[in-house]
Amino acid sequence: MNEHVAPDDCIFCRIVEGRAPAHRVLEDERTLVFMDLFPVTEGHTLIIPKAHCTNLLDVDEADLQAVARHSRVVAHAIREVIAPDGIGVFQLNGAAAGPTVFHYHMHLIPRTKGGTLQLHTRVRGDPDQLADTARRLAAAIPGKEAW
């Protein structure tokens, strides 16, 4: 896999620019939160900085802080809407770690007791269910209008 993807070739950059579809949950000037199109579980969300960067080692400090801040906000919404037993927070760096997109991103994956640990799937989620989950998560975020 090529870790050095130009922003024009990056699916996450295309999503930020509106050139690729996504079920958006939350957005501000630095970050975007949207549903993973290949969810491991219901509520599997991705948090990305809008500016292209490959991984944790080259993400802008302010963007990293914004991603972390949104991870907590969205985790609260996941707990309210999905009511999982836990929430996995994952972030992969470098091809050997297994990312499928080389644009810094954080996964929030609702987990249930006894479930298998899985970070990716090749099964595309149902678009209607993803849209519904995105709407329910967004509605559970207090003050999102001010973001």
> Which long-range CB contacts under 8 A does 79-82 form with residues at least 24 apart?
80/140, 81/43, 81/133, 81/136, 81/137, 81/140, 82/42, 82/43, 82/110, 82/133
- Within 13 Å and on the Cβ side, how many CA atoms surround 1? 14
User: Would you say 30 and 50 are in contact if contact means Cβ atoms under 8 Å apart?
Assistant: yes
123 CB neighbour count, 10 Å cutoff: 9
- Report the largest interatomic distance among the alpha carbons of the chain, rounded to a whole angstrom: 41
Q: Structure tokens of 26? A: 């939350």
Q: Is 105 a catalytic residue?
A: yes
Which of 23, 44, 105, 107 is catalytic? The answer is: 105
User: Which residues are catalytic, by number?
Assistant: 105
